Amino acid sequence: LGFIATLSYRSNYDHFVDGIERRFKNTDSTATTLNNELNLRSNESSRNVLLGGLVKLSFKPRTNHKFGLNYMLNRSGESRANDLFGSIPEQNIDNYETRVLAYTERSLDVVQLQGEHAFGSKNAEGAIEKPVLKANWIASYSESRQDEPDLRFFSNEFNIFEREPQPDTIYTLDLSVYAEPSRFFRELAEDNLDIKLNFEVPLNLSERPGSFKFGGAYTQKERDFIERRFTLDTDLRRAPYEGDPAAWFTDENIGIAEIDTLSNGAIIPRFNGIYQERTVQSNSYVGEQEIVAAYGMFELPLTEKLKFIGGARLEITDASVVSGNPNDPEGILDLQDVLPSANFIYEVLDNMNLRAGYSRTLARPNFREFSSLRTFPFERGNETVGNPNLERTLIDNFDVRWEWYPQPREIISVSVFYKDFENPIEKVIIPAQQNLAFRFGNVPTGRALGAEFEVRKSLSFLGDFFSNFEIGGNLSILDSEVDINEEELELIRTVDPTRPSTRPIFGQSPYVVNGELLYNDPVKGSQVSISYNIFGERIVLVGGQSAPDVYEQPRGLLNVSIAQRFGPFQVRLSGRNLLNPDFEKIQTHEFLNRDANGNRTGGTSEREYVFQRFTRGSTYSLSVAYNFN
């Protein structure tokens, strides 16, 4: 009988200033520029607190049977304040302000019970000498909760007039352009049950042992999401806004205002400002998902050097999302999928393998994605809308891999892979929407072809001085594309005639590079790690008729960690994101070249527009650990 228990607490702050939030729209096939609809500067601060704990009990009553009980908890809270200011050119507003004040609390409790068993003939000590059946199982139950007790939005505009002896600022709340001050209350509760059972039967068909594995799984998930919205309706004539939101929300401006309206001095109570419920029924939903699965697979040596591992998995999915608005369509997934897999491993040398494989996998939309929920990050920010008509994605995977293990902890490998997607899910721009908005949608097909090179190697071959040095890294190169729906493409080309019929897959970079230089001297207790990561530009928002695709730009992340042991103490100094690059998203508008009369002159040109930009800054930490051993 043994146990492990841990408890952790973390509190960190995040902040950026002078970020950029812009929105552009393409409305004319002859235009050489995009219309700027929103041009804001952004400041944001947040604090995240995390409390975590884990208790793990293990019990081994007999040599061939083992049980475990795990309990894990997480409690987290995030406070966030966001202030944006700038202009709304499409509304001729030069000075616009909008603010977000939010607190989100999350909790997760997980209980797991698991076991491992072996059956067969035993030796004198009671251990299984020739197993005829192995089994393992796990049953887990989790409760997840999320509470946003008071998410607040406040927007206004102002104009500055040059007057003597000092300028005069006039503030305005124009509810025809943006929403009145709003407060959201959101609660999410999700319960999960997950049961897995696996069996393994050893096969001794020849001198080279194999096995047959089979098992099943059952998962059940239930989610209940509720959102309520309240807005403050007030008479701006009696309670004009003068630039201070806190002062505007005083008791004098909310509730009953006593106003002397009669000549005899009688006081007639009137409502000055009251909160009205503006809850949108579509923004609440109930989701249920049940998955029953079973699989069978063989691991068989075909020859002395060739091994086959393969089988199939059956998954039956029954999922639904019911909106709080009875007029909304219900999101439904009623599926039966067979997912085959086949892998061949050829042992070229004792430390070198050649692998070839095929598998079919799937990706289901989550509750949020195929509900009718609408959310937005700030007033006049882009809405994100669910889609009850989403379908799951099927992926056929093909890969070939060569791997060599020169020494323990070392690897050099090269692999080539191809993926074929059916109904991939993407986040796309909704056409013909007054304000820029996005929804989740399926595109018919997609393809990805790539290669990966991986290395982890000691530098001891360079001499004794480098005996404690090690390099590692990988390079992935990927070419991906999806076909744009014909109806969507026809609409897009009414304003952007140069748009091709395909685009890269949502979220896929053309390359990813990871590298690390490691120094480890166990005698002196010294460790140094320098790591670097960069990725190629990737689509994070799929455009449509109204706007080009939004691409997240490459940024290099450099992290350094230095640790030194002093007796039972270890001191570690770490620095993350040391280069502090811009987090940037851009749109590129390609247009046909024309002369002053609007006639085509041949060729195309393009302009880049910054959709969003900010920096996160670098993080430094110093830690001290004490080893009781």
Encode pLDDT of 38-49 as tens digits.
899 999 999 999
pLDDT at 516: 96
- Quickly state the pLDDT bin for 533 (edges 50, 70, 90): very high
- The pLDDT score that the predictor gives to residue 215 is 97
pLDDT of residue 134: 93
Q: Which two tokens mark 513?
A: 């590079």
Instruction: Kindly state the DSSP code that residue 279 receives in the 8-state scheme.
Output: -
Residue 433: pLDDT band (50, 70, 90) is low
pLDDT of residue 464: 86
Structure confidence at residue 434 (pLDDT): 56
Q: Which of 126-140, 359-373, 429-443 has the highest mean pLDDT?
A: 359-373
What is the predicted pLDDT for the residue at 308? 95
Confidence of residue 542 (pLDDT cuts 50, 70, 90): confident
What's the confidence (pLDDT) of residue 108?
97
Indicate if the pLDDT at residue 351 is higher than 70: yes
240: cis peptide before it, omega within 30°? no
Give mean pLDDT, residues 256-283: 70
The one-character DSSP state at 618 is -
The closest of 414, 396, 413 to 451, measured between CA atoms, is 414
pLDDT value for 440: 85
On the question of pLDDT at 262 being above 70, the answer is: no
Q: How confident is the model at residue 378 (pLDDT cuts 50, 70, 90)?
A: low
What's the rounded mean pLDDT across residues 122-139? 81
The DSSP symbol for 91 reads G
Specify the higher pLDDT residue, 479 or 165: 479
Distance (Å, rounded) from C-alpha 493 to C-alpha 291?
42
For residue 542, give the DSSP letter: B
Lowest pLDDT segment from 68-77, 214-223, 366-375: 366-375
Judged against a pLDDT cut of 70, whether residue 257 lies above it is answered with no
Proportion of the chain above pLDDT 70, given as a percent: 92
Where is average pLDDT lowest: 155-169, 245-259, 312-326, 403-417? Answer: 245-259
Strand partners of residue 438 = 384, 429
Per the CB < 8 A criterion, the answer to whether 201 and 133 are in contact is yes
Give dist(CA 409, CA 126) in Å, integer.
35
Q: Give tens-digit pLDDT for 3-42.
A: 999 999 999 888 888 899 998 888 777 777 888 888 999 9
Other C-beta atoms lying within 10 Å of the C-beta of residue 173: 17
Does residue 303 surpass a pLDDT of 70? yes
Q: What percent of the chain has pLDDT over 90?
A: 54
- d(CA 29, CA 583) in angstroms, rounded, equals 30
Task: State the Cα–Cα distance between residues 200 and 69, nearest whole angstrom.
Answer: 23
pLDDT in tens, 61-80: 988 899 999 999 999 999 99
Instruction: Kindly state the average pLDDT of the residues 139-151.
Output: 96
For the segment 111-137, the average pLDDT, to the nearest whole number, is 84
Question: Is the CB of residue 138 less than 8 Å from the CB of residue 120?
Answer: no
More confident residue, 244 or 319: 319
User: Is the sign of the CA dihedral 436, 442, 447, 453 positive or negative?
Assistant: positive
Q: What is the pTM of this model?
A: 0.80
Q: Give the model's pLDDT for residue 72.
A: 97
Residue 227 has pLDDT above 90, yes or no: yes
Cα–Cα distance, 306 to 395 (Å, whole number): 27
**C-alpha distance from residue 606 to each of 34, 469, 502, 591 (Å):** 11, 47, 18, 6
How far is 27 from 25, CA to CA, in rounded Å?
Answer: 6
Structure confidence at residue 391 as a pLDDT band (50, 70, 90)? very high
Which of the 8 DSSP states describes residue 370? T
* Cα–Cα distance measured from residue 386 to residue 424, given in angstroms and rounded to the nearest whole number: 15
Higher pLDDT, 138 or 170: 138
If one compares 274 and 62, the residue with the highest pLDDT of the two is 62
Task: Give the 3-state secondary structure of residue 500.
Answer: coil
Pairing of strands 425-429, 411-422: unpaired
Beta bridge partners, 483, equal 502
- Cβ–Cβ < 8 Å for 6, 53: yes
- For the chain, the farthest-separated pair of C-alpha atoms sits apart, in whole angstroms, at 111
Q: How confident is the model at residue 122 (pLDDT cuts 50, 70, 90)?
A: confident
Per-residue pLDDT tens digits for 311-333: 999 999 999 999 999 999 999 99
Please determine, for residue 376, whether its predicted confidence score (pLDDT) is greater than 80.
no
| Residue 260 clears pLDDT 60, i.e. is over it | no
Confidence (pLDDT) at 421 = 93
Mean model confidence pLDDT for the chain: 88
